[in-house]
Amino acid sequence: MLAFLPQDPDIPAQAGADFGGTTQIHPMGAAALAATAALALVVPRRWMALPLIVLLCFIPAGQRVVVATIDFQFVRVLMMVLWARVLIRRELRPVLWNHLDRAMVVWATVSVITGTLLGMTLTIFVNRLGGAIDGLMVYFFFRNLIQNHDDLIRIAKQFLYCGFAVALFFVVEKRTGRNLFGVLGGVPEFTDMRGGRLRCQGAFAHAILAGCFWGALIPFYALDGWRGRGWRLPLFGTSAAVLIVALCASSTPVMAIVFGLGAGSLWFVRGATRWLRWLVILWLCVLHFVMMKQPVWHLLARIDLVGGSTGWHRFHLVDKFFDRFDEWYLYGVLQTGHWGPGLHDVTNQFVAEGVSGGLARFLVFAWIVWLAFAGVSRSMRLPESGRFYQITAWSLGTALFMHCMNFIAVTYFEQIVVLWQMTLAATASLTLVPGASPARQLAQFQT
């Protein structure tokens, strides 16, 4: 299954991701896959991401065919077509490798090794290997495709145009209480409700992930406005994204937008961000050791912006994650349900990394996040790079920050994993990530 946390048969499935292992193809879904695959082979290179974006936005991830117990999700099939095109037409560009590229390969390797040791079955090995290959295919596809800020803006516009149609589907779902994509399978036909509010999700795996997906695209929309081509289209795209987030009726994507606005606004005082980071760390330490009776992560239990939030569950999960370190640190743990009521549902990406692959995978994941932010930070400290180069880096940093805030409250799977890996790939291409010559990185970006 295409997921940052591959779904192992012996590990509790994520919400909305319990349809693996069974062929599920609707004629409309098959037609959409055929159309996007054909489109992927004929469109100009600059539009090569569009078929993938369309498939992510409008076809539920539950659409798949199983061959010899191996799930071929539609996204996996389309990625194979896209890579075949790249290789056959010799569109593979030279990439200046840095530590983020290496860390992604290490993460994939660790995921396979720890998963195999954890389950000791061929099924889990194949599952982890497939998830690792999926992740690397997506990451290096966008690493090859995004070479400068125009490439990133072009891809953001393709998401933006699709966002208008997605917003329309969400409005219909809100008014009718029925998900039009439910006929395809893989998503519920009737919209879920919590706290008296409908939680629209469209073709996405879960309402929370749908909101997180579109919220994290907003920093990229702003790039087109900063480019000097007008703010009308970015503002319309942002409005559509905010509408989608509102219709998802979840605190997590709303908080992501709030954090994103805060991070974006710090551009105007960017010279003081290093001091602000240390002040935040100091403040959290004071809360943890002096002011709060509970640990500082108990703050998660107090967040509820839209009603019906499960903040206490998220706090309890993190608390038990630290408490049960001896269970998972080696190479993970098969079950977390015995940690407490409802804790079979791992709603934290950082916790999920440790649960799935032990301390090794958790540390590699933290290394990936650190390298991405280090690239942004180094780019901001290079005055000769140019103003728009720094704005691009700041936008990437804002998107990364929004994803990291999401990670505290949700585990990524299905469509949003592609967006996360695209963000990492863009960061590796457009910022000064450690592990390569800054001069060569900057020269490649400006080519």
The pLDDT-based confidence of 253 (bands split at 50, 70, 90) is very high
In order, the DSSP letters of 194-262 are: ETTEEE--TTSS-HHHHHHHHHTTHHHHHHHHHTTS-SHHHHHHHHHHHHHHHHHT-HHHHHHHHHHHH
Distances from the Cα of 67 to the Cαs of 22, 70, 129, 211, in angstroms?
Answer: 10, 5, 15, 32
Check whether 193 has a pLDDT greater than 60. yes
Collect all residues with Cβ–Cβ distance below 8 Å to 181 and sequence separation of at least 6. Answer: 58, 59, 60, 169, 187, 202, 203
Reported as a single tens digit per residue, the pLDDT across 13-38 is 444 444 556 778 888 888 999 999 99
The pLDDT-based confidence of 9 (bands split at 50, 70, 90) is very low
pTM of the model: 0.91
The pLDDT assigned to 383 comes to 67
The pLDDT assigned to 385 comes to 67
Proportion of the chain above pLDDT 70, given as a percent: 90
Distances from the Cα of 165 to the Cαs of 161, 168, 170, 178, 415, in angstroms?
Answer: 7, 5, 9, 17, 17
Check whether 420 has a pLDDT greater than 70. yes
The pLDDT assigned to 24 comes to 80
Reported as a single tens digit per residue, the pLDDT across 86-125 is 999 999 988 889 999 999 999 999 999 999 998 888 888 9
Reported as a single tens digit per residue, the pLDDT across 175-192 is 999 999 988 888 898 988
The pLDDT assigned to 447 comes to 58
The pLDDT assigned to 136 comes to 96
Q: What is the mean pLDDT of residues 330-338?
A: 90
The pLDDT-based confidence of 4 (bands split at 50, 70, 90) is very low
The pLDDT-based confidence of 446 (bands split at 50, 70, 90) is low
The pLDDT assigned to 381 comes to 82
The pLDDT assigned to 325 comes to 93
Ramachandran angles phi, psi of 67, nearest 5°: -125, 120
Check whether 304 has a pLDDT greater than 70. no
Reported as a single tens digit per residue, the pLDDT across 45-58 is 999 999 999 999 99
Q: What is the mean pLDDT of residues 425-429?
A: 96
Q: What is the mean pLDDT of residues 356-377?
A: 95
Check whether 309 has a pLDDT greater than 70. no
Buried b (16+ CB within 10 A) or exposed e, 330-367: ebbbeebeebeeebebbbbbbbbbbbbbbbbbbebbeb
The pLDDT assigned to 251 comes to 85
The pLDDT-based confidence of 10 (bands split at 50, 70, 90) is very low
Reported as a single tens digit per residue, the pLDDT across 115-172 is 999 888 888 898 899 999 999 999 999 999 999 889 999 999 999 999 999 999 999 9
